[in-house]
Amino acid sequence: MSGGACQGLPISLPKTHGQPLWLLAELTYKCPLQCPYCSNPKDFAGFNDNELSTQEWVRVFEEGRKLGAVQLGFSGGEPLVRQDLDVLIREARQMGYYTNLITSGVGLNERKVESFREAGLDHIQVSFQASDETVNNMLAGSAKAFQQKLKMAREVKAQGYPMVLNFVTHRHNIDQIDRIIELCIELEADYVELATCQYYGWAFENRQQLMPTRAQLERAERITNEYRAKLAAQGHPIKLIFVTPDYYEERPKACMNGWGQVFLTVTPDGQALPCHSARMLPIEFPNVRDMSLQQIWDESPGFNHFRGDDWMQEPCRSCDEKDKDFGGCHCQAYMLTGDATNADPVCSKSEHHGLILNARAEAELPATEPLLFRNERNSRVFYKG
C-alpha cells in the first residue's frame, strides 16, 4: 500500500485503554450473496483458503473472555457457510458470552435455527436488501434470496428469538422506506436497523452508485419519524433505528468508540483488527496464530497506533472535540486522503472536507458506472497475491 504516514509513526507505549468488550468473529469471507455495499475487503478472495480452524477459534474465544469480552458476534461473509457454527456457538455460550449471529438468512433452515437455539445462541439478526423482491434479489445477486429471507425471519421469530432485521439503505431502495417499515411490521419485527450505507470496502468502490441525495435521506428520516410517532401512539413495540451516513454530517463519528478501546475483530485468517476495515491500512496488525489476544490488545503496535492523541495532526490536535470523536475514522481518512493520521474529512474543520462536499454533489447526479458486485471473480481483480 502507498500513501499515509502511519508506517513511520513512533509507537507510543500502551496508554489507558479499556477491555475488548465486543469481540467480532468474522468466521469466513465466503458468502452466497454479492451485495455491492459489503464492507469486507475488496481482495477477500485471497484469504479464503486460510481460515482459522474450529480449535483456533475456540482458543481465541477463551482468550477474549479472559480479557473481559462479554459479547461475541458471528459474522462474515456469511457465517452459515461454516459447518462448525453450532460447535462454535456452544463453546462460546459455555464460556459465558452473549452471542449473536449476523446473517443474510441464506443457508439457514428450520433445523439449523433449532440447533443454534439448543447450542445457546442468544440473538439472530437477519439482513434484507430491500422490501421489493426484484430489487432485493438484484442487489443480493440471487433469484431466491428474498423468499428465503422472509421464511427465515419468520422461523427465527417462531423459535422464540426477538426479530432483529437490518436493511442497508442507499439510492436504490431508500425511496421505499415506507414499504420497508410496513414489511417489518408485517413480519412482527422487534428491532429494525435502517442503516444508510457507509462507504467502506465494496461500498466505497460503488459509492457513486449507492449514495442517496440529501433530499432522499431527509425524506427517509422524516417518514421514519412519522412511523415512530404513529406506532408509539398505537403502543406498538417495534423499535426503528435510523442510522444516518456520516457523509452528510459536519463532525465525524467516534469510530469504534475509539481505536482499541472496546472493539476487537478477528478476520477469517486470524488477523486481529481494531475495526472491521483496518486491514487496508499501512499498519502491521498481529495474527492470533502468532500471539495471544492479551498481547495483541495490550502490546501490539497495531492496537496502540491510534490510542491517545500523540498521533494527531492539526486540526485534531488543538480541537476541543478531540476527546469526543478521537479524530473520527482513520480508515475513512486513509481511503479519502491517503493518510490515516489526517482528520476524518467528514469534519468541516478538515482541509480535505471538500472531498465530502464533492461526494455529496456527485450524489445529486445519475450514476455513470454499473454496480460492481462483491464476488470471487471481481475480488480477484483486487487480489494480486
Annotated binding site for [4Fe-4S] cluster: 31, 35, 38
Q: Which set of grid coordinates corresponds to residue 237?
A: 413495540
Contact between 221 and 372 (Cβ < 8 Å)? no
Phi-psi region of 201 (alpha: psi -120 to 50; beta: other; left: phi over 0): left
Nearer to ligand FES among residue 210 and residue 336 (C-beta): 336
Shorter beta-carbon distance to ligand FES: residue 212 or 302: 302
Parallel/antiparallel/unpaired status of strands 263-266 and 272-273: antiparallel
Provide the minimum distance between the beta carbon of 17 and ligand FES in the complex, in angstroms, as a whole number: 15
Q: How far apart are CA 250 and CA 255, in angstroms?
A: 15
Nearer to ligand FES, 156 or 255 (CB): 255
Instruction: Compute the least distance from the CB of residue 145 to ligand FES, in Å.
Output: 27
Minimum distance, C-beta of residue 354 to ligand FES, in the bound complex (Å): 20
Rounded CA separation 345/200 (Å): 14
**Least separation in angstroms between CB 332 and ligand FES:** 6
Q: Report in angstroms how near the CB of residue 317 gets to ligand FES at its nearest.
A: 18
CA atoms within 13 A on the CB side of 39: 17
Grid coordinates 439457514 are at which residue? 108
CA–CA separation, 227 and 224 (whole Å): 5
Q: Which residues bind ligand FES (CB under 6 A)?
A: 255-256, 275, 277-278, 329-331
Task: List binding-site positions.
Answer: 31, 35, 38
- Looking at the chain, how many residues does it have? 385
